[in-house]
């Protein structure tokens, strides 16, 4: 019987293979690529004309169809169920794992933990908007990141024991809507989450202001609605009324985090106004999500999360495209 791959990597595309060619290129550069399964999930397999030569360097690969009712949470859950390795890792088309990424994650999973996350490096560090988005989404795990146990891990970029995810059954799609909620639930069950600081991925961020503010509102709304899905009305109302405090609390945490060794304290005076504005939009989204649910936030995120270059400045887009080749 053939040996199972050590880790399955879930690669989601809404359109075609070219959209994920760059991340596949970086997965091919992994030191343990021969131990990896690549699972490419798309609305239609017929639309994904894969470059098979790029995929034959891995232990195995699958092209998986998830249907026309496409969302990233459904696609990731579909990929996890179809994967064959005991560890599954999530990647994004705009987050490129560095060569030792897979090796370090696999090694970390030898410990009794449910999930292991990587450190993130800013792929487009020239704009304040890029730093603002990275700090809000991934500030706790920016390289150099703290090694060891964490309360939660980088969403869309972490790895899991597959059996822990499959235990959610039909709820897995819901748990993937806001991965912080998934991580908190895993910890509530007594599972440990680890950050492997030597597993690094280069993440490209929104750097245009308008799309960034839309992103922040939609992320906040989807997070709140997912978190409060089973809450009574009184609790949802209490959290909604507390939402105006969120920008101040999160701003304070980010400022404290930036004071650590190797951090970006020199950027803070220029970052502060934009950072607070973005946090306010995020909190407005949370307020809306607690009171009225997700609305169309999930669909809007699906629309803007893919094709990252269209949400970047011209200079960032050119650098991204050059690095993609």
132, 161, 275, 303, 321 from 307: Cα distances, Å: 20, 29, 24, 9, 11
Q: Is 60 helix (H, G, I), strand (E, B) or coil?
A: strand
- As a whole number of angstroms, the distance between CA 116 and CA 195 comes to 6
Report the candidate in 60, 51, 62 with the shortest Cα–Cα distance to residue 24: 51
Residue 92 DSSP code: B
- Token couple for 169: 């059954």
User: What's the pLDDT band for 68 if we cut at 50, 70, 90?
Assistant: low
Q: At what angle do helices 179-188 and 209-227 cross, to 10 degrees?
A: 30
Q: What are phi and psi for residue 313, nearest 5 degrees?
A: -65, 165
Beta bridge partners of 90: 10
pTM recorded for the entire structure: 0.94
Please report where in the chains the tokens 């959290």 appear, as a residue.
239
pLDDT of residue 259: 82
Sorted by sequence, the CB contacts under 8 Å of residue 40 that are 6+ apart come out as 11, 12, 13, 17, 20, 48, 50, 61, 62, 63, 64
Q: What's the pLDDT tens digit per position in 5-17?
A: 999 999 999 878 8
Sorted by sequence, the CB contacts under 8 Å of residue 280 that are 6+ apart come out as 247
pLDDT of residue 1: 56
Report the candidate in 276, 128, 156, 151 with the shortest Cα–Cα distance to residue 216: 276
Element (H, E) at 287: helix 268-292
Sorted by sequence, the CB contacts under 8 Å of residue 104 that are 6+ apart come out as 118, 196, 198, 199
C-alpha radius of gyration, the chain, whole number: 19
Half-sphere exposure of 33 (CA within 13 A, CB side): 17
Please say if the pLDDT value at position 237 is more than 60. yes
User: What's the pLDDT band for 24 if we cut at 50, 70, 90?
Assistant: very high
Percent of the chain with pLDDT over 70: 98
Q: What's the pLDDT tens digit per position in 138-187?
A: 999 999 999 999 999 999 999 999 999 999 999 999 999 999 999 999 99
Q: What's the pLDDT tens digit per position in 256-313?
A: 888 877 678 888 899 999 999 999 999 999 999 999 999 999 888 888 888 899 999 9
**Intra-chain end-to-end CA distance of the chain, in Å:** 38
Q: What's the pLDDT tens digit per position in 31-60?
A: 999 999 999 999 888 777 667 788 989 999
- Token couple for 106: 């696999």
Sorted by sequence, the CB contacts under 8 Å of residue 14 that are 6+ apart come out as 42, 43, 70, 302, 306
Report the candidate in 252, 281, 248, 246 with the shortest Cα–Cα distance to residue 268: 252
Is residue 162 a contact partner of residue 87, using CB atoms and an 8 Å limit? yes
pLDDT of residue 313: 97
- Token couple for 238: 């209490």
Report the candidate in 109, 65, 101, 66 with the shortest Cα–Cα distance to residue 85: 109
Q: At what angle do helices 246-258 and 268-292 cross, to 10 degrees?
A: 140
């Amino acid at each position: 019987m053939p040996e199972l791959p050590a880790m399955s990597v879930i690669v989601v595309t809404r359109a075609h293979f070219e959209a994920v060619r760059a991340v596949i290129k970086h997965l091919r550069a992994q030191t343990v690529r021969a131990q990896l399964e690549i699972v490419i999930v798309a609305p239609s397999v017929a639309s994904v004309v894969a470059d098979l030569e790029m995929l034959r360097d891995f232990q195995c690969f699958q092209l998986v169809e998830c249907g026309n009712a496409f969302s990233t949470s459904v696609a990731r859950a579909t990929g996890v169920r179809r994967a064959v390795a005991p560890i599954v890792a999530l990647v994004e088309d705009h987050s490129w794992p560095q060569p030792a990424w897979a090796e370090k994650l696999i090694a970390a999973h030898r410990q009794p933990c449910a999930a292991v996350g990587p450190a993130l490096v800013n792929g487009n560090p020239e704009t304040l908007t890029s730093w603002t988005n990275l700090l809000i989404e991934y500030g706790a795990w920016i390289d150099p990141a703290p090694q060891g146990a964490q309360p939660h891990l980088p969403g869309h970029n972490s790895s899991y024991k597959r059996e822990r995810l499959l235990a959610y059954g039909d709820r897995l799609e819901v748990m993937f809507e806001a991965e912080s909620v998934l991580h908190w639930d895993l910890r509530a069950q007594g599972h440990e989450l680890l950050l492997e600081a030597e597993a690094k991925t280069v993440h490209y961020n929104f750097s245009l202001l308008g799309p960034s503010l839309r992103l922040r509102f939609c992320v906040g709304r989807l997070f709140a609605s997912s978190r409060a899905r089973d809450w009574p009305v009184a609790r949802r109302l209490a959290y909604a009324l507390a939402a105006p405090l969120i920008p101040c609390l999160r701003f304070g945490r980010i400022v404290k985090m930036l004071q650590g060794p190797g951090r970006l304290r020199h950027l803070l005076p220029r970052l502060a106004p934009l950072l607070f504005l973005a946090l306010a939009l995020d909190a407005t989204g949370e307020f809306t999500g607690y009171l009225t649910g997700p609305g169309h936030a999930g669909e809007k995120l699906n629309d803007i999360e893919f094709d990252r270059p269209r949400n970047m400045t011209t200079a960032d887009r050119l650098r991204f495209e050059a690095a993609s080749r």
